[in-house]
Amino acid sequence: QVHLAESGGGSVQIGGSLRLSCEVSADNPYNAAHMGWFRQAPEKSREGIAVIDKEGSAHYAESVKGRFTISKDNAKNLLHLQMNNLNLEDTAVYYCVADPGFLYADGDFYRPNYWGQGTQVTVSS
C-alpha cells in the first residue's frame, strides 16, 4: 500500500507562487519509486504535469515548464512542487501520484497506480 497526503494548496493571485508538498508512506518503497503531480482543472480531464523518476530525473508538461519545479526529499519521504508565476489556467485540484514504473516517456505521461486525495489551487485576478 502507498499513502500519499498533499498539503500546501490555497488561493493566490496571478503571478504568485505556491509550494505543494506530499507526504509519502509505502509498505514497500518500490511501489513509490516513481512519483509526480497530476492536476484536474474544472471540466477537464486529469493531466500529468511533473514527474520525477527513481534516479531523480524530472519531466514536465509544456504548460508548466520553466515555472514549476518538482523535487523530492528521500530522507523525509516528501515530494514537493514549487509553482511560480501562476496563471488562471493553473487553477485545478493537484494530485500527488506514485507508481513502481516510469510515469513519463516520449512526451506522454502514464496513469499512475497510486493517488493522493488532492489539494485545491485557485489562481485569481
- pLDDT recorded at residue 44: 96
- pLDDT recorded at residue 86: 98
- What confidence tens digit (pLDDT) does each residue in 57-113 have? 999 999 999 999 999 998 999 999 999 999 999 999 999 999 999 999 988 999 999
- What confidence tens digit (pLDDT) does each residue in 35-62 have? 999 999 999 999 999 999 999 999 999 9
Would you report the helix, strand and coil content of the chain in percent, each value rounded to 5? 5, 55, 40
Would you say 7 and 66 are in contact if contact means Cβ atoms under 8 Å apart?
A: no
Strands 47-52 and 58-60: antiparallel
- pLDDT recorded at residue 99: 96
One-letter amino acid at 43 equals E
How many angstroms separate the CA atoms of 97 and 9, rounded?
Answer: 16
C-alpha cell of residue 16: 504568485
